[in-house]
Amino acid sequence: MNILAFESSCDETSVAVVRDGRTVLSNVVASQTELHSLYGGVVPEIASRRHMELIRTLTEQALEQAGMSKSDIDAVACTTAPGLIGALLVGLSFAKAFAYGLGVPFIPVHHIRGHVAANYLAFPELKPPFVALVASGGHSSILHVTDYTAYKTLGITRDDAAGECFDKIARVLGLGYPGGALLDKLAEGGNPNAYKLPRGKIDGSPMDMSFSGLKTSVLNIINSAKQRGEEINTKDLSASFSQAVCDVLIPRLKSALEITNEKTVVLAGGVAANSWLRQELKQSVNGKNLYLAPLTLCGDNAAMIGAQGFYEFQAGNTAELSHNALATCKADKCLC
């Protein structure tokens, strides 16, 4: 089954063709980083407009690279939640029109389920059940995936997402936007114990996460050093911050494995590209089957939506053309 897939929930416009949920025939990704870097973060209105400018050409490119014409497409999948609402609506409207024009089913896909499904593309043997950690610019979730379309959120961030903190700290350090990868590079070889940083906890909800206190602590260190005219060791600070993020995520992931009795762990989302996190995970979850999404599929892309779209289709989760986008929505919820 050939699925034409769309992703436009934030600042990447992406169109892909995926066969049977496992094989990427094309995956065209246009990043808007340059446009938004001027403002130090994603400007939703600019993102929506850029998606509109790009989506048609990218669709032609995705079909061409897959060596296909429109008539070879069996279904259309699209991220419809969660994300920036204007940005989502561009992909959704285009995808629905395409499905209607071709007379094929329309499959709404949850963005977080899509991130998890990036691993199905890279690892043919991987199948549920497993525990997944999805960490990105907008989300930090620990999930129990009992089947391709059966999700239970075990823990979620109560405030900032991990990636948001990477971006904010990198911005204040003057590294540029998006800052995750730049901060990752800076942390290399730094001392993770040089700066004492908090590890947030939520009373009564041990699996939930909080990153805003950690972010504020780092920002306070930078700002007070600036005010006093003191130098800070940015390498050590980045390493200390990266370690603190790992110390929030990894123990919760280990608890999730214990609670669910699962033997397989899946890492996904933009922050899954973080080398500190990948390294720490490899060391701390030994004895389990650990799947780390390949770097090329960690960030937002439409191939992961095509992969999850296949399994949603198999579960009968297709939608009417009246289907709408949602800015927020847990991965547990069926979108149809």
From the list 123-131, 218-226, 244-252, 298-306, the region that binds Zn ion by CB under 5 A is 298-306
308 interacts with Zn ion by CB under 5 A: no
Find which of Zn ion, ligand KG4, none residue 184 binds, CB within 5 to 8 Å per kind: ligand KG4
Cα torsion through 201, 213, 245, 288, rounded to 10: 20
Tell me the chain's radius of gyration from C-alpha atoms. Answer: 20
- Give 184 or 262: the residue with its C-beta nearer to ligand KG4: 184
Q: Which does 200 bind (CB under 5 to 8 A by kind): ligand KG4, Zn ion, none?
A: none
Which span sits near ligand KG4 by CB under 6 A: 14-22, 122-130, 174-182, 279-287?
A: 174-182
Ranges within 181-210 binding ligand KG4 (CB under 6 A): 181, 184
- Residue selected from 21, 180, 192, 200 as contacting ligand KG4 according to rule CB under 6 A: 180
Taking the least distance from each CB to Zn ion, the nearer of 52 and 272 is 272
CB of 2 to Zn ion, least distance (A): 24
Question: Residue 119 region, left (φ>0) first, then alpha (ψ -120 to 50), else beta?
Answer: alpha
Q: Which position has the token pair 């050093």?
A: 225
Q: How far is the CB of 217 from ligand KG4 (least distance, A)?
A: 18
Which of 271, 285, 297, 319 is in the footprint of ligand KG4 by CB under 6 A?
271
Stretch that binds Zn ion, among 133-141, 192-200, 216-224, 289-297 (CB under 5 A): 133-141
Q: Which does 299 bind (CB under 5 to 8 A by kind): ligand KG4, Zn ion, none?
A: ligand KG4
Could you tell me the sign of the dihedral formed by the alpha carbons of 159, 165, 167, 170, in that order?
A: positive
Q: Does 309 bind ligand KG4 (CB under 6 A)?
A: no
**Binding letters toward ligand KG4, positions 97-136, x by CB under 6 A:** ---------------------------------------x
Of 136-144, 183-191, 287-295, 302-310, which part binds Zn ion (CB under 5 A)?
Answer: 136-144
* Nearest of 209, 211, 205 to residue 157 by alpha carbon: 209
Interface with Zn ion includes 119 (CB under 5 A)? no
For ligand KG4, the closer CB: 136 or 308:
136
Rounded to a whole number of angstroms, the minimum distance from the CB of residue 259 to ligand KG4 is: 26
Taking the complex as a whole, how short is the minimal distance between the CB of residue 94 and ligand KG4, in angstroms?
Answer: 19
Q: If binding is defined by CB under 5 A, does position 300 make contact with Zn ion? A: yes
